[in-house]
Amino acid sequence: MPLSVTTPWALGGLPLATRAVLAPMAGYTDLPFRRLVRSFGGVGLAFSEMVNPDSILRGRSRKVSALVATAPDDRPLGWQIYGTKPGLLAEAAQWFEARGAELIDVNMGCPQKKICSRGAGAALMKTPELAVEIARRVVESVKIPVTVKIRLGWNAPDAAAELARGLEAAGAAALTVHGRTRAQRFSGAVDLDGIRQVVEAVRVPVIANGDVFTLAAAREMLERTGAAAIMIGRHTLSEPWFLRDVARDLAGEPPLAAPCFAERLAMMRRLYADHIQLYGERFGVSLFRRWIPRFAKGMGVPRPMMIAFLQAATPAEWEARMAEVERGAGV
């Protein structure tokens, strides 16, 4: 039977405060964004972007240093790694553990072509023996919990339950299941019954993932799947406070108002400042552009002003664009 969503829970001995989990998203869940999401509260666990073991073991660059950056307020945190070489993945897990990691996650669900073409990510669902061996080697290499993220299958939802049993036997402390096949990528409806089959196949906690954009969808996912927790990704890019809302709703607490214009402006400034601190001025301004359309939409910024914002190339130009937004809103 699934645990009550209002009771404390843990993954392999790591205590977690809520059942709301921030998904690993390549290109987005870096330290600045994780800190922004955590600032609202309600985050039981967050994950890093997926990390290529070679990048941290064979050569370090400023980009890699930023990828593995964390902070005292960025806890609890799971580091997600991917690949097809059990020994290399085990070595990467040890690298993270030696630097204070609390949890390692192995990605076996990424549908990206460049990842799957190498046999990694969701392609590991086609080679279940290798997938289980990877999990076993990583588990044996560290003392911290190891989790695995999978999909329901490659072309059809027919592989997840059996693979889940193998991963559990290999020592995985928990599993995350995205309720689609690799062929579906992010299209079509999430198969909640498919996730439930995995929940019923194993004894370790299962985290359900996929297409949660409303509080009602979050409740339905947990009720129908019997999962221990819910992982949310894409919707947090538009509403970084959404995990707070989910955690409150599951606890039976009333909703809080969405941030007003001034609060969103403060969010934008905080995220920008963290980008500059982590990436430096030149790269930080450039990388922050990915967030401008999302903030502009939520703040009602006119399209011409947003386009001008996207063209800012220096901190001075960025501040000038921010001043225009403030004047336009009468702030």
- Residues with a catalytic annotation lie at 110
Alpha-carbon torsion (302, 304, 305, 310), positive or negative: positive
- Indicate the SS3 state at residue 51: strand
Backbone region of residue 84 per phi and psi (left: phi > 0; alpha: psi in -120 to 50; beta: other values): alpha
Strand 9-11 and strand 174-181: the pairing is unpaired
- Reference 24, options 15, 33, 14; nearest CA is 33
Type and span of the H or E element at 34? helix 31-38
In whole angstroms, give the CA distance from residue 31 to residue 316: 24
Cα(331)–Cα(326) distance, integer angstroms = 5
The C-alpha atoms of residue 26 and residue 6 are separated, in whole angstroms, by: 30
**Packing angle of the helix pair 215-225, 242-250 (nearest 10 deg):** 50
What DSSP state is assigned to residue 27?
T
